[in-house]
């Protein structure tokens, strides 16, 4: 049986409700919608670690952020992760006979690392203007360069909503889309391929091209969710302070609705531009004659609040940041199905391995989405970041942050997260259960995160002090302990 090709389309910071596939009437995304129409759309998909690098690292390794240790955008994988027994999904697929490729933004450190991808065309984060990646070289060859957001007229006044100084033909998302099409056109059909396409948009700055033939009107954008300052006051303060930093340099202390609507219109236009590129990639598969044997996965690392709760970007557990689009079409996925099961972003990792015929490592807490149906998804989503944790069971959502902000929401009756139920005695049993579950998950994750520092494993552990070698002066601690040598109690599986 011929293994399927895999095309993983992965725009940066795309919230689920800015796609018409999810019922949004103010935007039209027919090419992205076609993936849902021809496959499975997951209605309740979440990013457990809603920041770029933690979310992407969890995808690479198939484990949660505490286990791999990347809980912030300035953390990254230990250089010797392979010695600890871990493998990235492109490394595993390469051994299974796949040609692996990464187009666009991956957010690796160093930025030009391969991490198992055999072929890369690099167009990194829109906030990294000084990186001399493939996109920078393309611009320079055409007489252009990368621009910082604040080089654009009206950048500060419009809170990052600008018109790009570059024409659409030289926009970063078009560059990435065209690179993906070229890879498909040049691919030898005698060997399966797995290609991840990382669009840098619609991440801020919100900078659609002036000459793109479709623009959204701010007046047509949905209203933002109101802020309730007493719910998580420190999150709002931290969001303001972080965005004042040089990487963005925008002050959101005053964030009126007209500004939110303008940002949303620019964001929607960026989404429309990405929808065009998705259409071109799908057409390349059709032209090549390989669409029927290609698994197409569409998702995002996290969303963007776009003014909800007076917040911008991501980094906490409100819905606009953690709820993501996820749809899959191709062999093994039922056409036109809308699936309500609770699923998580890193479930894509096990799904990709399953598609390739590769064994899913025992230490994974990623679940394959093949055959998932209502009642067989996850029981809950545990959120994990450096500064906060979450437990969401599909109805009740607990937010906890190191600032002391603490919130409980009933998502069934309060989907906009307006009424903080902390302190309501009738909800004490629910709160106690969520707290207990969260503590157990964090403790188990910390246990695995430290496995490579163990001095011995198995039956040697308790008896280490009785070994003559240990008793001698000059005893040398062993090298890294591989996760593959650990028992199932340490490895753990997804809930």
Polymer length in residues for the chain: 495
pLDDT tens sequence across 219-234: 999 999 999 999 999 9
* Mean pLDDT value of segment 282-300: 98
**Per-residue pLDDT at 106 exceeds 60:** yes
**Per-residue pLDDT at 493 exceeds 80:** no
**Per-residue pLDDT at 172 exceeds 70:** yes
pLDDT tens sequence across 309-336: 999 999 999 999 999 999 999 999 999 9
- Which among 414, 281, 409 is positioned nearest to 5, based on CA atoms? 281
Report the SS3 class of residue 477.
coil
Q: How confident is the model at residue 461 (pLDDT cuts 50, 70, 90)?
A: low
pLDDT at 376: 85
**Per-residue pLDDT at 459 exceeds 60:** no
**Per-residue pLDDT at 305 exceeds 50:** yes
Distance CA 44, CA 410 (A): 16
Instruction: At 19, list the tokens.
Output: 């796609």
DSSP codes, 96-155? TT-EEEEEE----SSTT--TT-SEEEE---TT-TT---HHHHHHHHTT-----GGGSTTT
pLDDT at 487: 58
Distance CA 414, CA 417 (A): 6
Element (H, E) at 194: strand 193-198
Residue 196 in contact with residue 103, Cβ under 8 Å? yes
Distance CA 133, CA 122 (A): 6
pLDDT tens sequence across 179-195: 999 999 999 988 999 99
- What is the chain's mean pLDDT, rounded? 94
Alpha carbon dihedral 211, 213, 219, 222, in 10-degree steps, equals: -110
Distance CA 218, CA 263 (A): 8
pLDDT at 463: 57
Residue 279 in contact with residue 180, Cβ under 8 Å? no
pLDDT at 199: 98
**Per-residue pLDDT at 177 exceeds 50:** yes
Distance CA 158, CA 155 (A): 6
pLDDT at 1: 64
Q: What percent of the chain has pLDDT over 70?
A: 96
pLDDT tens sequence across 31-75: 999 999 999 999 999 999 999 999 999 999 999 999 999 999 999
Residue 365 in contact with residue 494, Cβ under 8 Å? yes
Distance CA 329, CA 351 (A): 12
pLDDT tens sequence across 406-425: 999 999 999 999 999 999 99
pLDDT at 189: 87
**Per-residue pLDDT at 455 exceeds 80:** no
pLDDT at 254: 96
Q: How confident is the model at residue 6 (pLDDT cuts 50, 70, 90)?
A: very high
């Amino acid at each position: 049986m011929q293994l399927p090709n895999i095309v993983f389309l992965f725009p940066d910071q795309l919230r689920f409700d800015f796609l018409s596939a999810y019922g949004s009437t103010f935007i039209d995304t027919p090419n992205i919608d076609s993936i849902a129409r021809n496959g499975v759309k997951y209605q309740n998909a979440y990013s457990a670690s809603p920041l770029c690098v933690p979310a992407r690292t969890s995808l690479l390794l198939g484990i949660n952020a505490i286990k791999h240790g990347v809980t912030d955008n300035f953390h990254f994988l230990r250089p010797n992760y392979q010695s600890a027994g871990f493998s990235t999904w492109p490394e595993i697929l390469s051994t299974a006979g796949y040609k692996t490729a990464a187009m666009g933004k991956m957010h690796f450190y160093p930025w030009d690392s391969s991490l198992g991808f055999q072929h890369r065309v690099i167009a990194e984060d829109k906030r990294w203007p000084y990186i001399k990646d493939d996109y920078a070289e393309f611009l320079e060859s055409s007489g252009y360069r990368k621009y910082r957001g604040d080089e654009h007229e009206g950048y500060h006044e419009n809170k990052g909503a600008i018109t790009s100084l570059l024409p659409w033909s030289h926009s970063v998302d078009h560059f990435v889309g065209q690179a993906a099409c070229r890879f498909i056109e040049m691919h030898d059909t005698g060997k399966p391929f797995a290609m991840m396409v990382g669009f840098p948009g619609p991440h801020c700055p919100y900078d659609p091209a002036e000459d793109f033939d479709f623009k959204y009107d701010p007046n047509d954008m949905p209203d933002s969710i109101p802020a309730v300052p007493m719910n998580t006051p420190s999150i709002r303060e931290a969001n303001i302070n972080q965005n004042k930093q040089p990487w963005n340099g925008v002050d959101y202390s005053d964030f009126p609705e007209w500004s939110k609507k303008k940002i949303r219109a620019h964001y929607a236009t960026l989404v429309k531009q990405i929808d065009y590129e998705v259409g071109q990639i799908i057409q390349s598969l059709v032209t090549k004659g390989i669409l029927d044997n290609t698994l197409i996965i569409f998702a995002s690392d996290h969303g963007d609040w776009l003014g909800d709760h007076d917040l911008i970007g991501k980094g906490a557990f409100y819905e606009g940041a953690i709820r993501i689009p996820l749809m899959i079409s191709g062999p093994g996925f039922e056409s036109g199905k809308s699936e309500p099961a609770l699923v998580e972003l890193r479930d894509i990792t096990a799904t990709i391995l399953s598609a390739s015929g590769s064994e899913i490592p025992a230490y994974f807490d990623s679940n394959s989405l093949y055959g998932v149906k209502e009642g067989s998804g996850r029981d809950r989503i545990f959120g994990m970041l450096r500064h906060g944790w979450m437990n969401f069971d599909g109805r009740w959502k607990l937010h906890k942050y190191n600032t002391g902000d603490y919130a409980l929401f009933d998502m069934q009756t309060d989907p906009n997260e307006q009424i903080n139920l902390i302190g309501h005695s009738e909800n004490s049993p629910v709160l106690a259960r969520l707290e207990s579950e969260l503590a157990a998950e964090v403790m188990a994750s910390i246990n695995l995160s430290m496995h490579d520092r163990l001095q011995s494993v198995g039956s040697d552990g308790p008896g280490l002090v009785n070994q003559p070698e240990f008793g001698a002066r000059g005893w040398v601690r062993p090298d890294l302990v591989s996760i593959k040598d650990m028992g199932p109690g340490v490895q753990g599986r997804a809930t």
